[in-house]
Amino acid sequence: MYYGIKALTVGRGESVRAKITTTIEEALLNKAKALAKQEGLSGANAIIERALELYFTSIQSEVWEKSLSSGWIKKLVLKRDSILYENIKCRKTMENCRPDDYTPESLKAKGWKKV
């Protein structure tokens, strides 16, 4: 005899929600719970759903780069219905930087936008 967990669906149309049972590394789940609390979300499920949406969005595009002798980098992001073309002057990794210079508040004050 089968004693499995029955799936429960809630909602209509595209917003139907299904109850699932899975195993996940406890440390990863704790990180999701902490982030959800920090962002004022209802729980780890909200973070897991965002991660899945990001995953499925990213696999639907291809990223191509071409380095030029001038130091510029050309970048193409090919999506189903559009192409993003970028010219990048340089890309570098900074080490030994001051974390206080890169908080959301200080970056916004310097004109950066979170995308």
Residue 90 pLDDT > 60: yes
Inter-residue long-range contacts of 41-48, CB under 8 Å, 24+ positions, other chains counted: none
pTM summary value: 0.51
Q: Where residue 26 falls among pLDDT bands split at 50, 70, 90? A: very high
Q: Which residue has the higher pLDDT, 14 or 27?
A: 27
CA 42/CA 32 separation, integer angstroms: 11
Give the pLDDT confidence score for residue 14 in this predicted structure.
Answer: 67
Q: What does the angle CA 107 – CA 109 – CA 112 come to, to the nearest 5 degrees? A: 45
Whether the per-residue pLDDT at 31 is higher than 70: the answer is yes
Sign, CA torsion 21/25/27/28: negative
pLDDT digits (tens, 9 = 90+) for 45-81: 999 999 999 898 888 888 999 999 998 999 998 988 8
